[in-house]
Structure 1
Amino acid sequence: MSGTVTEQLIEEHLVEGQMEPGEEIALEIDQTLTQDATGTMVMLELEAMDVEHLESELSAQYVDHNLIQEDNKNPDDHLFLNSACEKWGIWYSAAGNGVSHPVHQQRFGVPGKTLLGSDSHTPAAGAMGMLAIGSGGLDIAMAMAGEPYHVNMPEVWGVELRGELPEWCSAKDVILEMLRRHDVDGGVGRVIEYHGPGLETLTAMDRHVIANMGTELGATSTVFPADDAVRDFLVQQKRKEDFRELRANDDAEYHVTETIRLDEIEPLIAKPSSPGNVVPVADVAGDDLYQAYIGSSANPGLRDFAVPAMMVEGRRVPPEVSFDVNPTSRQMLQNLTEMGYLGDLYASGARVHQAGCNGCIGMGQAPATGRNSLRTVPRNFPGRTGTREDSVFLCSPETATASALAGKITDPRTLEDTHDMTAPNWTEPDEAIVDESALSPPPENPGGELEKGPNVKSLPDFERVPDALSGPVLMKVGDDISTDEIMPAGSDVLPYRSNIPRISEWVFDQIEQGFYKRAQEQGAPWMAVGGSNYGQGSSREHAALAPYYLGMRAALAVSYARIHWQNLVNFGIVPLEFADRADYDAIEQGDTLELPNVRKEMQEDSEITVQNTTQDTTFTAEHSLSPRQVDIVLQGGLIEDYKN
């Protein structure tokens, strides 16, 4: 048996390949998670694949992103998803039941299982001793149909935790410390595994906070052991029979090692507009504040609301500050109410919203233009809030609440002097209210027809890659471009998640308003060029599928984020990397690139000839696809490959 928890999980589920870092492996998937912003595509893909029944051990569909019902589109899609759950035998979590990740951990998290989710923050379930990976929707559909999941074997990055967090600091400051050290691409090709004596001071939901935002480091996943903290959590959730101890062996060896002394952690904050732009809160203390926002999958635990409630008890937030509370589940609201914390939040002037992702994904709670918003969410990419010129900081619940009370960005440690406040002393209760009233189990006899509203459109047709490709560089972007910038979130855009023709109108809109018209005028094929870490962030496959619909057939980048790279493969877009960054620098937007032998060269080698006919130059690009992935791309994507 392999030594680390990660290796144990992989070994137990290995179907194909060797456990050598960088080698492609295939894993058996026990559970799948879909949410409504991506799940509609998964169900349409199952339909396109002619899947009659599912093979996954457990699949759950959550409605948590698109909750605003300003017209028919979102509620129609909710009915569509419910009908898909009836048809294929899937758990259905209705609108208002809560955010997928904490609800899944509460109701379905089981140590030792694999989980594949069409949401990039699926690794949050690693808090339970699971191997949980985020991926594009088509990969999830394949797993639901019983196909193994292919991924490159990661390195295991062992992070030893020592000591105990000081007062006014919490788990969010731990993951922000990791981002301060390593930025948004430090975890690429790795699973982060936390170990050491400091774990004893972190609850299962504290670990959820850290595992959730491992995604912002670019990591394949994050894994914690299944120990006493996980047992306590399952007992609290009335599921103690699901516990299985899972720990690293004493002789476990990690490919990369690091130590964090928890007692040296200080309150941290990620400045606009990247999760990796981390500084001490003290560095920006005193800056103006418009909004303080607590909640989201990145801080979903009972303590993440109870501690702010304890801080504001008997106090009032200044009227010029919008103090937004976004509960993560219906169950959470019941517990906060029963314990009296919800009343304290209301009395402080807080605006309490329905349980769901809400402002994290740009569905309400958008800040005013150019005003500072402090949020406990996982991302602060430009415009993600729904406000194009937003100014979002990522921080802990303690920092957000301290700032709300002070009316300016505030280091929570200073409240001891300014507000005569001692640090709240929180202890997780042994028992909690469990509410499954809005969680519908799969029917005993799945079947029936899909209920499609007028906004649900079938997938486009996919073409085989021709012998040669030629087209203009219609868009050139820099480093760390996120999928939010390729395919924005927000209340204007995401309601069209099941309507590719319509949602394509927002492709690259954050970068260039009006790009859609240029793409329409150009037609297929065209190419996009990106810098390093192209496509970081969300798993939404719309960032590949909508550009494909507009005619994009190839991408050239210095490097790719893992999920977006796989999504390009899944929809038949050729993903190439520059062998020399100087070739990236030399290309101008509008240049015409030709891949004269792309099909033959991809089948024979990893080097691809690229001719810049505008500049009359030739250079070599590379691909890092396995032979299996080459076949998928050349056939026009994973659906065509599955059907053939």
Structure 2
Amino acid sequence: MMPWSVAQKLIHSHLVSGEMTPGEEIGIHIDQTLTQDATGTMVMLELEALGLDRVKTEVSVQYVDHNLIQADYKNPDDHLFLLSACQRFGVWYSRPGNGVSHPCHQENFGKPGKTLLGSDSHTPAAGALGMLAIGAGGIEVALAMAGEPFFTRMPEIWGVELTGALPEWVSAKDIILEMLRRHGVAGGLGRIVEYYGSGLGTLSAMDRHVIANMGAELGATTTVFPSDPEVRRFLRAWKRENDWVELTADPGAGYDLHDEIDLSSLEPLIAMPSSPGNVRPVREVAGQPIYQAYVGSSANPGFRDFAVSATMVRGRRVHDRVSFDVNPTSRAQLETLVRDGHVADLIHAGARLHQAGCNGCIGMGQAPATHELSLRTVPRNFPGRSGTREDKVCLVSPETATASALTGVITDPRTLGIPYLRIADPDDPIVNREAFLAPLAPEAALRVALRKGPNIVSLPPSESLPDSLEVPVLLKVADDISTDEIMPAGNRVLPFRSNIPKIAEFSFEGVDPSYVARAKQVPGHIIVGGDNYGQGSSREHAALGPRFLGLRAVFAKSFARIHSQNLINFGVLPLTFGDAADYDDIQMGDVLRLIDLHRSLVMGNELIAENVTRSRSYRVHHSMSSRQVDAVLRGGLVNRVKEATGHST
């Protein structure tokens, strides 16, 4: 047998259908699922719609880490609904304040060799432990919880060899920023990134988490690391050494693509506004005044990320102009930081300490001032994601964020003039699992009623796809439109995540405020997009909202993986231009016609779209499997499953 990579071993051991040939559809068995409260309410409503009695996974965990601001009843009501749904369906419940799903899952539930599907695009962070962890839309996670396989196109395996060791003032964040500097936000589309090489021995499990988490910003399907002695050390520290198994690439394993990073050659990097791919050396932009420095989030969640900041500010004071926000990422990490004195150092230096959760990363508080630079260790800096529409968010390491907080300007930490202290994650963290509520016994679970507040609305019905469409182009957007721009995050919008009619009102708000009103005036419409349409968050609301308003198809140069699947899952056609130049020809207001859709979709992957307004035609393509075509024709995946099982609600 040919020598295999870690990714190939993980896929092969869970393959239930298809061939491991890049581009072919495969189905894989899912061992674990992860949901959070910005997406989990929809997952639980979908489980209800599917008529599920109890989840069939080994472990499913519901986290409450996004919608923590309790400005009114909506978020607390949803948390009570999620608790009742966990009790009803046999799911672990992580109480508010336990922390961010991704580091909490790595600390408490992640297991090498297992698969994890999460309704959060940063689920691949668990690849740090040697898992195959993939982000997906909520309905696909719900189906995995019901015991169904997860279907995706077999990715290419992209091997990245790490050699050398990081120099002083350079950390794991700079490694993934270097990948983004080289390859951009679409460089990982259709690929699994697998890291290997002698440099791995210098990176902790949480360092690997940083890199795997932000592989999502490359557009990668997931990121994989081996399960080696460092992973064993991490699990031993968190009192789970029995969960460790060794999982490494075979000697001589080949990769579809290859890259190499000499860690010793790296320097502090920064992603300038407003894209994770807009990466430059910190030294090139040093000196620009900042308003905010922010440490935390799922992209830098480890003990050392906070401890290094605390060590840097000890005996010093944050600049008077700077809001220095510290966002612990798990209750257990916070307890450990308190025990070791780091929280006192941060607070005394002028830091603002916030509760454990996603918070500012998803626009839930700590929004920066208008047009002022905010240096953050978060994974994304899409326009407006912070909660400030005219934000200027930069992505940096904890070292760069803290150095800049002290000086008040973007600062290369190497120039700060203070000694560098290497800090490792402790072997004795405070392990706190008491606030994770275990699933009820099956008999007790069946007696639990779902607790729905007034803001929780059942999924709206979705009609099947007609055989012909003749609808206007209601919106035309540029390259790299993100799901944050399609459906904004933040404490004003996300509380309506379980109320599709209401959340739909915010669709494309920052792109074209007239979109919603215009969509309500026509029976259906098309959106035209550029390259990498729908990058970013996995939230299916970015498909559900426009679909509720009548979206029937998106014509784009290319699609981000998760959003393309979400469109299909809710009955929207994702079509790519045969000739990218046709994007320039179509204008807003043009009426496009698609005829004989049912036969065309089933028989092949090419369709002809007529521009009725301009008397022109375009060749467009779809890359859907026969299973996905069937779902679109029926109006979405929920309809397909319900019709297949004979269940109705």
Structures share fold, TM-score greater than 0.5: yes
Is 54-63 or 595-604 further displaced after alignment? Answer: 595-604
Structure 2 match to 1:467: 467
Mapping 1:30-41, distance limit 5 Å: 30-41=31-42
CA drift of 1:424 comes to 1.8
Mapping 1:549-628, distance limit 5 Å: 549-628=548-627
CA drift of 1:553 comes to 0.9
Mapping 1:414-425, distance limit 5 Å: 414-416=415-417, 421-425=418-422
1:440 pairs with 2:437: yes
Mapping 1:354-503, distance limit 5 Å: 354-416=355-417, 421-445=418-442, 446-447=445-446, 448-503=448-503
Q: Deviation digits for residues 6-65 of structure 1, max 9, x if unmatched?
A: 000000000000000000000000000000000000001111111112111110000000
Structure 1 match to 2:176: 175
Structure 2 match to 1:519: 519
CA distance in 1, matches of 2:51, 2:257: 43
CA distance in 2, matches of 1:514, 1:463: 25
Structure 2 match to 1:350: 351
Contact 1:77 1:456 in 2 (8 A): yes
CA distance in 2, matches of 1:174, 1:531: 28
CA drift of 1:616 comes to 1.0
CA distance in 2, matches of 1:227, 1:234: 11
Structure 2 match to 1:546: 545
CA drift of 1:437 comes to 2.3
Query: How does the TM-score come out when normalised to structure 2?
Result: 0.98
Mapping 1:628-639, distance limit 5 Å: 628-639=627-638
CA distance in 2, matches of 1:349, 1:437: 31
Q: Deviation digits for residues 428-447 of structure 1, max 9, x if unmatched?
A: 32211101122111112322
Instruction: Output the amino acid matched with 2:422.
Output: N
SS in 2 for 1:257: strand
Q: Deviation digits for residues 299-339 of structure 1, max 9, x if unmatched?
A: 00000000000000011102210000000011111000000
SS in 2 for 1:124: helix
Contact 1:598 1:609 in 2 (8 A): no
Contact 1:116 1:122 in 2 (8 A): yes
Q: Deviation digits for residues 146-172 of structure 1, max 9, x if unmatched?
A: 000001001110000000000000000
Contact 1:273 1:381 in 2 (8 A): yes
CA distance in 2, matches of 1:509, 1:437: 41
Contact 2:181 2:279 in 1 (8 A): yes
Structure 1 match to 2:335: 334
Contact 1:362 1:490 in 2 (8 A): yes
Instruction: Output the amino acid matched with 2:574.
Output: P
Calculate percent identity across the aligned residue pairs.
62
CA drift of 1:427 comes to 2.6
SS in 2 for 1:625: coil
Structure 2 match to 1:4: 5
SS in 2 for 1:581: coil
Contact 2:169 2:413 in 1 (8 A): yes
Mapping 1:142-161, distance limit 5 Å: 142-161=143-162
Could you tell me which runs of 5 or more consecutive residues in structure 2 were left unpaired when the two chains were aligned: 644-649
CA distance in 2, matches of 1:430, 1:483: 39
Instruction: Output the amino acid matched with 1:422.
Output: P
CA drift of 1:583 comes to 1.1
Structure 1 match to 2:274: 273
SS in 2 for 1:518: helix
Mapping 1:253-264, distance limit 5 Å: 253-264=254-265
Q: Deviation digits for residues 225-248 of structure 1, max 9, x if unmatched?
A: 000110000010010100000000
Q: Deviation digits for residues 551-605 of structure 1, max 9, x if unmatched?
A: 1011111110000000001001111110001111100011111102222211111
CA drift of 1:343 comes to 0.2
CA distance in 2, matches of 1:557, 1:320: 43
CA distance in 1, matches of 2:187, 2:331: 35
CA distance in 2, matches of 1:427, 1:97: 22
SS in 2 for 1:317: coil
SS in 2 for 1:505: helix
Could you tell me which runs of 5 or more consecutive residues in structure 1 were left unpaired when the two chains were aligned: none
CA distance in 2, matches of 1:202, 1:412: 20
CA distance in 2, matches of 1:181, 1:346: 37
Mapping 1:101-112, distance limit 5 Å: 101-112=102-113
Mapping 1:84-123, distance limit 5 Å: 84-123=85-124
Instruction: Output the amino acid matched with 2:406.
Output: L
CA drift of 1:513 comes to 1.8
Mapping 1:189-200, distance limit 5 Å: 189-200=190-201
Aligned residues: 639
Instruction: Output the amino acid matched with 1:532.
Output: D
Contact 2:462 2:635 in 1 (8 A): yes
Contact 1:32 1:58 in 2 (8 A): yes
SS in 2 for 1:184: coil
CA distance in 1, matches of 2:54, 2:239: 30
Is 99-108 or 524-533 further displaced after alignment? Answer: 524-533
SS in 1 for 2:71: coil
CA distance in 2, matches of 1:116, 1:109: 12
CA drift of 1:521 comes to 2.1
Instruction: Output the amino acid matched with 1:571.
Output: F
Is 509-518 or 310-319 further displaced after alignment? Answer: 509-518
CA drift of 1:251 comes to 1.7
Contact 1:597 1:609 in 2 (8 A): no
CA distance in 1, matches of 2:160, 2:612: 49
SS in 1 for 2:472: strand
Contact 2:216 2:536 in 1 (8 A): yes
Instruction: Output the amino acid matched with 2:362.
Output: I
Contact 2:195 2:224 in 1 (8 A): yes
SS in 1 for 2:581: helix
CA distance in 1, matches of 2:117, 2:316: 43
CA distance in 2, matches of 1:354, 1:429: 22
Structure 1 match to 2:529: 530
SS in 2 for 1:560: coil
CA distance in 2, matches of 1:214, 1:294: 19
Instruction: Output the amino acid matched with 1:431.
Output: D
SS in 2 for 1:269: strand
CA distance in 2, matches of 1:265, 1:319: 31
Contact 2:571 2:637 in 1 (8 A): yes
Contact 1:294 1:400 in 2 (8 A): yes
Moved over 2 A (4+): none
Contact 2:175 2:263 in 1 (8 A): yes
CA drift of 1:620 comes to 1.2
CA drift of 1:360 comes to 0.2
Contact 2:271 2:278 in 1 (8 A): yes
Structure 1 match to 2:647: none
Structure 2 match to 1:29: 30
CA drift of 1:514 comes to 3.1
CA RMSD of aligned residues (A): 0.7
Query: How does the TM-score come out when normalised to structure 1?
Result: 0.99
Contact 2:333 2:429 in 1 (8 A): no
